[in-house]
Amino acid sequence: MKVYHSIEQFPSDIKTTLTIGTFDGVHKGHKHVLKRLNETAKKEGSESVLLTFYPHPRHVLYPDNQELKLLNTIEEKIEELRKSGLQHFVIHEFTKEFSRTKSVNFIRDLLVNKLKMNHMVVGYDHHFGRNREGSYDELKEFSELYNFKLEQIPPQDEGDVTVSSTKVRKLLCVGDVEKANAYLGYAYPINGKVVKGNEIGRTIGYPTANILVENKWKLIPADGVYAAKVQFGEKQYFGMLNIGERPTISDKKHAIEVHVFDFSENIYGSEIKVELVKRIRDEKQFENLELLKNQLQVDENNCRNLFRIA
């Protein structure tokens, strides 16, 4: 998969089958669109393209409201998209000026003339243009006017529920990572840099790696203790992760920290990835560190049993 950081960077001699969207989470519904996109591109002798915008339009258009958190950083999205078979990923900067582009100019000048789109695949809830006012019916009119084919993919269900990024966000905000992972099709990731903490965990036999997430829009799930897979370098480990204010320590500092089982390396300053598998319990306050240690032993046993490791 080739990655471009503007529409202008895209080669002008490639015929494309294209889809547009945020694709936040690259969940099962998105993957169905991408599968169809790739199949169509292959059938028509073109190449598959996903066009997305960054920052998220809502963050640009409403600068005083940054409450919308996202499931993926751009780096996480690229990593997940590489698994889909997509050939080209175009990340175009979203600005207020760009938001004023008329639908007809966007379709004609950028998609048809620059990206050489001859087929467009969209999800069931796709809208485009200023204030997302463009409808599927309007797209059909453009497809006839500018001679490109158009296909709409129906919603994808998990059980009896239509999968959406909004639903995944809501699940993570209440700590239901198991159902969120079922909608995503993979374990929810958090990437960050290992930074120094207060090292109290080390004194009770549970040293932790404190993870600094630098992307301000990354959604951090509900506070609590989670069973997690840990990726460091080329190796995968298992561990338990705490999100919260660590009330027993009473420093009121919100932190993400992971205790990695059977691991003793010094990794300060290194990049680390954790994948949340299951929420084990709420964060609790204990009267002293000894009681906290006892609970951590129970948590460790629960996580090891979940992962089936000794």
pLDDT in tens, 230-276: 998 889 999 999 999 877 776 678 899 999 999 988 888 899 999 99
Q: What is the pLDDT of residues 165-207, one digit of tens each?
A: 999 999 999 999 999 999 999 999 999 999 987 777 777 888 8
More confident residue, 158 or 22: 22
Alpha-carbon distance values, 25 to 83, 166, 177, 280 (Å): 13, 10, 13, 23
Residue 127: the pLDDT is 62
Q: What is the pLDDT of residues 208-241, one digit of tens each?
A: 999 999 999 999 999 999 999 999 888 999 999 9
120/18 Cα distance (integer angstroms)? 5
Which one, of 225, 252, 262, 264, lies nearest residue 241 by Cα?
225
More confident residue, 288 or 250: 288
152/69 Cα distance (integer angstroms)? 27
Say if residues 158 and 184 touch (Cβ distance below 8 Å): no
Residue 131: the pLDDT is 53
Domains of the chain: 2-156 (3.40.50.620), 187-307 (2.40.30.30)
**What is the average pLDDT value for the chain, to the nearest integer?**
91
Q: Which of 99-108, 132-141, 223-232, 274-283 has the lowest mean pLDDT?
A: 132-141
* CA angle 238–221–292, rounded 5-degree value: 60
Q: Is the pLDDT of residue 133 over 60?
A: no
Residue 28: the pLDDT is 93
Q: What is the pLDDT of residues 64-78, one digit of tens each?
A: 999 999 999 999 999
For 129, residues 6+ apart whose C-beta sits below 8 A from its C-beta are 101, 102, 103, 106
Residue 129: the pLDDT is 59
